[in-house]
Structure formats: C-alpha cells, structure tokens
Amino acid sequence: MRATTLAAGGLACVGAAMTIAAFTAGGDEPVRTAAQPTAARDGLAVFIAQGCGSCHRFAAAESVGPIGPDLDVALTGKDRADVERKILAPTPGTMMPEDFATRISPPDLDQLVDFLLAAQ
C-alpha cells in the first residue's frame, strides 16, 4: 500500500510540473517538445528572443508580424550569406533594426540562420 501511495504521489508531482511548464512557457508561443530537432528549437528560441516575429510573418515560427517582409516568401532562393547580410547589414531606410551586428552573438546568429534556411 505504501508503494502505491508513493507512486501516486510521484505521478501527481510530474503532472503538476508539466502543468506549470505549460502555463509558464510564454503567452501565445507554442510549447515546444523534445521531439523537435535541437537546431530548430535553438533557432526558434533566438527568433523569439530577438523579437523577429513581431515584424515578420514566418510559418515555421507561427509568427504573423505585419511590418517586415513575409519570410516564407523573402527567403526563397536565398543562401546563408544573403540571410546573414540582411540581418547584420540591412538595407538603409528599411524598418529592419540596424543593431543586430552588436546585439546578436555569432552562435545565436548561426542558430537563427540555420532555423530560417531549414524552413525553406
């Protein structure tokens, strides 16, 4: 009987932890699971942290930003150098922030670009 009580208590703790994780995962952002490839999760995390989805529509990130170009269209046919250049040295006069070269680390940039290109 004691083993059954301990097992039930353990399951209750796991259930509570999963519920807390679901509620603290962050607003309207989808809850990501371990089944997703690590690179995609990491790149998506950078996309979210840098606020890309507030401007850009991008299906892979479930973002619907109305300001910047639709990345599902804009990334078509682009290579890594093109994407990095658009992020780090955007065309003057566009709404793209010009400070990504100083606020995004090289590893984060790599993860972001990997994520963007993998979705194409």
- 50 and 98 fall within a common domain: yes
- 23 and 79 fall within a common domain: no
What is the number of alpha carbons within 13 Å of residue 29 lying toward its C-beta? Answer: 21
- 71 and 101 fall within a common domain: yes
- 24 and 10 fall within a common domain: yes
Total structural domains in the chain? Answer: 2
- 27 and 46 fall within a common domain: no
Main-chain dihedrals φ then ψ at residue 104, nearest 5 degrees: -115, 130
- 49 and 18 fall within a common domain: no
- 2 and 55 fall within a common domain: no
- 11 and 52 fall within a common domain: no
Q: How many beta carbons lie within 10 A of that of residue 83, not counting itself? A: 20
Q: What is the full per-residue pLDDT of the chain (120 aa) written as tens digits?
A: 444 333 333 333 333 333 333 333 444 444 444 445 676 689 999 999 999 999 999 999 999 999 999 999 999 999 999 999 999 999 999 999 999 999 999 999 999 999 999 988
- State the residue range of the domain holding 65: 32-118
List the Cα angle 105/119/92 in 5-degree steps: 55
- 45 and 8 fall within a common domain: no
- 52 and 17 fall within a common domain: no
Write down the pTM of the prediction: 0.68
User: Of 77, 74, 44, nearest to 62 (Cα)?
Assistant: 44
CATH number of the domain that residue 93 is part of: 1.10.760.10
- 58 and 101 fall within a common domain: yes
Contact yes or no for 32/44 (Cβ under 8 A): yes
- 17 and 40 fall within a common domain: no
